[in-house]
Amino acid sequence: MALTPDHDTGPERFRLAARVIRKYLIGARSLHDHIATKLLGSGASRVLDIGCGEGALSDALPHPPPFRLVGLDASAELVSAHPAPRLRADALRLPFRDGTFDAAVAVNLLPQLDDPDRALREARRVLAPGGLLLVTAICRTDSPELSPVWRPEPTTFDAEEAPARVGEVFGEVEVERWDAPLITLPDEAAVRDYLIARQVPRPQATEAATHLNTPLPVTKRGSLVLARR
């Protein structure tokens, strides 16, 4: 499907979100950099990146990584840009045998799914005993500086309930929260792109950007939840 002025496809929106965060991140490591450090210290030899997109986690790791990293995404367009090994598949029906991986990662994927609990059960199934799960979710009050023109839509899996939801499937969890001004949007175009990446239609995003003063620091709020099988 071709892009029109008022329509951005899911893959295009995903790419835009990644570009905005990378370009305007201030004084902090990216989330993928942080997760890469966790994986490098975990001793894992087989890692599954569920909802890998074009490979942000792969980019944050040494090349080649010291473990086998498999990228999986439902979008053929996105996963085709991920380094091999990679495959197109559904997070609700992972095409792997039980206990295949030592670690599994899902960065901001579960809020996009109709049944995140099933995805958690699938992730647990493909982990070996003692395997590490790392999932992230955004808070309901993320990006409060944009509240005059936009608020996040409710999702099926947000940071406020993520620890309990993961705990129901995995048992004990560890939670790392973030709540800080992590990006600065320098102009109207950057605000527009940020809103489009968060599923605001392009015309509304363009109009909303005119009502905010820039440069605009944006507070990011969310959680990283870690659990072991």
Question: What is d(CA 39, CA 33) in angstroms, rounded to the nearest whole number?
Answer: 10
Q: Among 204, 34, 64, which residue's Cα sits nearest to residue 136?
A: 34
- For residue 137, give the nearest of 172, 173, 97 by alpha carbon: 173
For position 197, what pLDDT does the model report? 86
Q: Average model confidence (pLDDT) for the chain?
A: 90
C-beta separation of 133 from 123 below 8 A:
yes
CA distance 3 to 5: 7
Return the pLDDT at 1.
23
Q: How confident is the model over 60-68, as a mean pLDDT?
A: 95
Q: Give pLDDT tens digits for 8-39.
A: 445 665 566 666 666 766 656 789 999 999 99
Question: Which pLDDT does position 33 carry in this prediction?
Answer: 93
Max Cα-Cα span within the chain: 52
More confident residue, 227 or 19: 227
Measured from the Cβ of residue 161, the count of other Cβ atoms closer than 10 Å reads 15
CB neighbours of 124 closer than 8 A, spacing ≥ 6? 133, 169, 170, 229
- Grade residue 3 by pLDDT with cuts at 50, 70 and 90: very low
Token pair, residue 107, equals 């960065």
- The residue-averaged pLDDT of 170-178 equals 96
For position 212, what pLDDT does the model report?
Answer: 96
Mean pLDDT, residues 55-75 taken together:
95
Tell me what pLDDT residue 26 has.
62
Q: Which residue has the tokens 């305007």?
A: 24
Query: What is the C-alpha separation between 182 and 3, in angstroms, rounded?
Result: 30
DSSP conformational letter for 154 = P
pLDDT at 29: 74
Q: What is the pLDDT of residue 205?
A: 94
- Whether 130 shows a pLDDT value over 90: the answer reads yes
Q: Distance between CA atoms of 55 and 163, rounded to whole angstroms?
A: 25
What's residue 7's pLDDT? 42
Structure confidence at residue 19 (pLDDT): 66
- pLDDT above 90 for 57: yes
Residue reference for tokens 């005993």: 129
